[in-house]
């Protein structure tokens, strides 16, 4: 099928999202494909306004540099689409003779991809739509894990280790340190901090995930008990933890974002103030914020390679007449050796759905993760990325 290709990056960026972009471009340029490879500038904004840039002319060096550059090179944009917008998008794709459409994003993005695929079919426009998974939250259905999660998990586990080493320096301290991770409804990132809890440093670990209702009374009792035992602790909380009434744990009501979701963040400062105000115990909080999804220094090479391969497989399946699917990572059953293969899953089985930490992988009483959880995460964070530098700082690339 003749025509051109368009790639979109959507949702929150990650440390390795550009690897999926380059994976698609490399596969296209190394094939017999004669059309142009375009990128949508600003994600949905470019789609709605027909702002496409030609990526076919990126040199090998430029493409290579983008592989170790964090953030979405094409740009992203949060926007709530209407049915009319979907019609507009498909008409613009038709006008520009886009026949291969790749949408890199999370579960919300897969829903957009599904709507575009359905609209194209509705008007009889031949368009191959491929979803390319990306999520630091690791909440995508249909895939063993999501590219972007491994690097964010490695970053947070490293943060946890560094914090523990700092706290170990003060042998008489019993301060409470609260580390707040991203994770609106799923606790995969918070759970990843459990990878360093075996280190013997007289530091208690407690992890709170959104999947399990948060009890303030029980929490405060644990803090009081730790203080009496003169034991320091690192408490890891997902930003989206909620009480038994499904209310976000926060001091104030939260504003909504453009998608109608509560703007999260701040649970760690609220808990810190509560501990200090009601118990008089020394406490502090740490907010990695967007750093956890944008740090290339602690990116996992496994994650980088898989993100690139996902892009390449997206091109392969598009060339083999697939449409309305997302690329999925499939983990081998071999426990002795971590390996993944790639398959497809229907967009309708992924779109708008969320994948949570299995109930059996979290101990509610101990507020800790099981060995099965750790065995699941540990292979994904393996490998280091060596960053080229100039004057002591990384050399990143750019497109827009």
The residues assigned a catalytic role are 137
The encoded tokens of residue 41 equal 């500038």
Q: Is 100 exposed, middle or buried (0-12, 13-18, 19+ CB in 10 A)?
A: buried
Q: Which residues pair with 340 in a beta bridge?
A: 331
CA distances from 180 to 9, 284, 379 (A): 26, 11, 23
- Angle, helices 83-95 vs 107-122, to 10°: value is 70
- Residue 238's H or E segment, with its range, is strand 232-238
CA distances from 340 to 267, 328, 332, 345, 354 (A): 36, 10, 6, 15, 21
Of how many residues is the chain composed? Answer: 400
- Which residues lie below 8 Å from residue 145, measured CB to CB, with a gap of 6+? 138, 329, 331, 380
| Location of structure tokens 């115990």 | 281
DSSP output for 274-337: HIIIII---EEEE--TTHHHH-STT-BHHHHHHHHHHHHHHHHHHHTT--SEEEEEEE-S-TTS
| Location of structure tokens 């972009």 | 21
DSSP state, 4? Answer: E
80: closest CA among 240, 255, 254, 257? 257
């Amino acid at each position: 099928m003749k025509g051109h290709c368009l790639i979109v990056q959507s949702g929150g960026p990650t440390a390795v999202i550009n690897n999926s972009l380059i994976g698609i471009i490399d596969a296209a340029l190394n094939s017999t494909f004669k059309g142009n490879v375009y990128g949508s500038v600003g994600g949905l904004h470019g789609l709605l306004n027909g702002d496409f840039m030609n990526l076919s002319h990126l040199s090998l060096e430029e493409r290579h540099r983008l592989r170790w550059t964090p953030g979405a090179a094409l740009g992203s944009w949060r926007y709530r689409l209407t049915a009319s917008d979907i019609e507009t998008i498909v008409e613009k794709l038709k006008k520009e003779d886009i026949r291969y459409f790749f949408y890199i994003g999370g579960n919300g993005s897969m829903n957009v991809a599904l709507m575009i695929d359905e609209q194209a079919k509705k008007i009889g426009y031949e368009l191959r739509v491929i979803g390319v998974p990306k999520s630091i939250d690791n909440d995508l259905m249909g895939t063993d894990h999501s590219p972007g999660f491994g690097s964010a998990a490695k970053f947070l586990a490293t943060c946890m280790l560094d914090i523990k080493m700092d706290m170990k320096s003060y042998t008489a301290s019993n301060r409470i340190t609260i580390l707040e991770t991203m994770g609106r409804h799923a606790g995969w990132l918070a759970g990843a901090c459990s990878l360093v809890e075996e280190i013997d440093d007289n530091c208690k670990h407690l992890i709170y995930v959104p999947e399990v209702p948060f009890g303030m009374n029980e929490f405060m009792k644990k803090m009081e008990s730790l203080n009496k035992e003169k034991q320091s602790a690192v408490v890891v909380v997902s930003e989206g933890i909620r009480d038994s009434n499904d209310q976000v744990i926060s001091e104030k009501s939260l504003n909504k974002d453009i998608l109608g979701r509560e703007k999260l963040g701040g649970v760690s400062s609220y808990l810190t103030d509560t501990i200090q105000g009601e118990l008089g115990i020394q406490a502090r909080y740490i907010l990695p914020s967007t750093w956890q999804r944008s740090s290339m220094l602690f990116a996992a090479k496994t994650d980088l390679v898989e993100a690139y391969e996902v892009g390449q497989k997206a091109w392969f399946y598009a060339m083999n007449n697939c449409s309305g699917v997302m690329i999925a990572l499939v983990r081998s059953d071999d426990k002795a050796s971590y390996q993944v293969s790639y398959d497809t899953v229907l967009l309708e089985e992924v779109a708008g759905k969320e994948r949570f930490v299995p109930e059996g992988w979290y101990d509610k009483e101990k507020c800790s993760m099981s060995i099965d959880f750790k065995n699941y995460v540990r292979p994904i964070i393996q490998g280091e990325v060596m960053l080229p530098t100039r004057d002591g700082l990384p050399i990143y690339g750019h497109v827009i």
